[in-house]
Amino acid sequence: MRWDGRVANALLALLSRDWLGLPVALLVAGAGGALLGLNAAWAVALGGVVLAVGVALLAGAVRHLLLVTREAGAHPPPGRLVDVGGHRMHVLAAGESAGGPTVVWMPGGHAPGDEFRQLHTLLAARTRSVLVDRLGAGWSDVGPFPRTTAAEAEELLAALEGAGERGPFLLVGHSFGGLLVANAARRRPDLVAGLVLLDPTPPEVIAFAPRNALVAGMRRKQLLAAVRHLFGAHRGSGGRTGADCAAASIFAELSPAGLARVGWETVVYDGDLGDLPLLLVTPRDLTGGETVLDAARDAAEAERIRRFYLRTRTRYLATSTASRVIHTPEGTGHNFPQEVPEFVVGAVWDLARELGAECR
């Protein structure tokens, strides 16, 4: 890793500590007090401003710690905390196996497993279902930096083993989570019975698509959120700075340069999954994502962009010789797991039963 990369990761690790706001605020307040001790009028005026800022930051830092403590007390982990490389990962399992593989859910972005609690609850009424919080999300510890898809694929499998869950598993991943579970399947095909990829992130969209301001700003947004949380400058309940920093770290992959740096370890290429059963679930059109067309200069380029996004959506079909695609209900977009949860659970359950019948 380059020197500047090590520095960036060290800074993220430091920023991920919820207590960091206290010493920073005290340093600012101390600098203001030192300026007040000077005789110059400008120093007194500036010192008063700096001291006021330091006091405000200190109040915000205390508020943040109180909110984090209150949240932890009010919402203890509902599942198990298992050791993975010296860090605790949260695993929540429910339901009894119906003779098929245990289903493991992975939401998109760097969201906690609880993002799919509704899907998990619906499926657990039929078979064994598991939610896992990646390191840096939900009830899991922050973990080491950098956060990468390749590392999190290994950690996911280690957490399942540590929690006593037995494979082979049916891994279900949405968006960025789809890239992760596909990576896990490539690494340990012996532990995976099949994959359900819910509109997974195609590497081509990261590497070759027109610039997308939403994707480009994701890392910056998480870093700003970490600073706001650190000094209590946010509304509502507390949020851990570690979650913001972990997301900011892994979102470094979502750029052409970032993907090039980790591509060989991260991307699942054509044929990598052999004959592993793979179900791709994707919308038919760009419903909800039409803003990608804003980069077009004319109608011809808009059509090219539309074709690019629709074609790349199916690129995971080439990773396995046993892949197939189904489309989501009309009018649904990329966030269809929240829009039509019963449809998603039905698709996963159908494949789980199919795989169970093959094992008997």
Interval 11-48: pLDDT, tens: 999 999 999 999 999 999 999 999 999 989 999 999 99
Predicted confidence (pLDDT) per residue in 158-175, tens digit: 999 999 999 999 999 999
User: What whole-number distance in Å separates Cα of residue 214 and Cα of residue 290?
Assistant: 12
Who wins on pLDDT, 330 or 39? 330
Looking at the predicted structure, is the pLDDT value of residue 107 above 70?
yes
Residue 317: exposure state from Cβ atoms within 10 A (0-12, 13-18, ≥19): middle
Looking at the predicted structure, is the pLDDT value of residue 309 above 80?
yes
Mean pLDDT calculated for residue range 306-323: 96
| Most distant CA atoms of the chain, gap in Å | 86
User: What whole-number distance in Å separates Cα of residue 263 and Cα of residue 272?
Assistant: 14
What count of other Cβ atoms lies within 10 Å of the Cβ of residue 236? 6
User: What whole-number distance in Å separates Cα of residue 290 and Cα of residue 147?
Assistant: 30
Looking at the predicted structure, is the pLDDT value of residue 2 above 90?
no
Mean pLDDT calculated for residue range 282-310: 91
User: What whole-number distance in Å separates Cα of residue 129 and Cα of residue 334?
Assistant: 23
Q: What is the pLDDT of residue 73?
A: 93
Looking at the predicted structure, is the pLDDT value of residue 327 above 90?
yes
Mean pLDDT calculated for residue range 329-345: 97
Q: What is the pLDDT of residue 266?
A: 95
Q: What is the pLDDT of residue 70?
A: 92
Predicted confidence (pLDDT) per residue in 194-239, tens digit: 999 999 999 999 999 888 777 778 889 999 999 999 999 887 766 8
What count of other Cβ atoms lies within 10 Å of the Cβ of residue 323? 19
What amino acid occupies position 124? A
Q: What is the pLDDT of residue 238?
A: 67
Mean pLDDT calculated for residue range 131-152: 96
The H or E element that residue 196 is part of is: strand 192-198
User: What whole-number distance in Å separates Cα of residue 273 and Cα of residue 258?
Assistant: 24
Tokens representing residue 222 in the block: 């998480």
User: What whole-number distance in Å separates Cα of residue 170 and Cα of residue 231?
Assistant: 41
Q: What is the pLDDT of residue 316?
A: 97
Least confident of 66-75, 128-137, 323-332: 66-75
Q: What is the pLDDT of residue 4?
A: 60
Q: What is the pLDDT of residue 31?
A: 97
Residue 271: exposure state from Cβ atoms within 10 A (0-12, 13-18, ≥19): exposed
- Percentage of the chain exceeding pLDDT 70: 97
Predicted confidence (pLDDT) per residue in 180-194, tens digit: 999 999 999 999 999
Q: What is the pLDDT of residue 347?
A: 98
Mean pLDDT for the chain overall: 94
